[in-house]
Amino acid sequence: MTTTPLPKALDDEGGSPAGRATRAGGLLPADPVLRLATVLTAVNSLGNGLYFPLGVLYFTRIVGLDATAVGLGMTVAGLVGVAAGVPAGRAADRWGARRVGALLWGGTGVATASYVLVGSYAGFLVAVICATGLQMASRGVQGALYADVLPPATRVEARAYLRMVTNVGMGAGGALGAVALQVDTRGAYLTVIALNALSFAGPALLLPRLPLAPHARERAAAGAPAGEGWRAVRDLPFLAVTVLNAVLVVQYTLSEVGLPLWIVERTTAPRWTAALLMIVNCVLVALLQVRVARRASRVATAVRAMGWSGLLLAAACAVYALSAGLSPVWAVLSLTAGAVVQVFAEVLSAAGGWTLGYALADARAHGVYQGVFGAGASAGMMAGPALVTVTAIAHGALGWAVLGAVFALAGLCVAPAVRWARRDGAWRGEPA
Mind spelling out the 3-state secondary structure of 135-148? HHHHHHHHHHHHHH
Among candidates 189, 190, 169, 172, which has minimal Cα distance to 180? 189
Among candidates 363, 44, 298, which has minimal Cα distance to 157? 298
Evaluate if residue 30 carries a pLDDT over 70.
yes
pLDDT of residue 117: 94
pLDDT of residue 143: 84
83-134 pLDDT, tens digit each: 888 888 888 888 888 899 999 999 999 999 999 999 999 999 999 999 989 9
d(CA 313, CA 256): 15
For the chain, give the number of residues.
432
pLDDT of residue 367: 81
**Residue 25 — φ and ψ, nearest 5°?**
-110, 90
Compare 386 and 356 and report the one with higher pLDDT: 356
Evaluate if residue 21 carries a pLDDT over 80.
no
pLDDT of residue 22: 52
pLDDT of residue 164: 87
Q: Which long-range contacts (CB under 8 A, 24 or more apart) does 398-404 make?
A: 400/317, 400/318, 400/320, 400/321, 401/317, 401/318, 401/321, 403/254, 403/317, 404/313, 404/314, 404/315, 404/316, 404/317, 404/318
249-259 pLDDT, tens digit each: 999 988 877 88
The whole-chain average pLDDT of the chain stands at: 84
pLDDT of residue 3: 39
pLDDT of residue 61: 85
Q: Mean pLDDT, to the nearest integer, of 51-71?
A: 84
d(CA 209, CA 272): 43
Evaluate if residue 8 carries a pLDDT over 50.
no
Query: Do residues 219 and 93 touch, judged by C-beta distance below 8 A?
Result: no
d(CA 259, CA 68): 21
pLDDT of residue 244: 97
Among candidates 102, 1, 6, which has minimal Cα distance to 347? 6
Q: Mean pLDDT, to the nearest integer, of 355-372?
A: 85
d(CA 49, CA 178): 10
pLDDT of residue 221: 54
Residue 223: which pLDDT band, with cuts at 50, 70 and 90? low
Residue 237: which pLDDT band, with cuts at 50, 70 and 90? very high
Q: Mean pLDDT, to the nearest integer, of 363-390?
A: 86
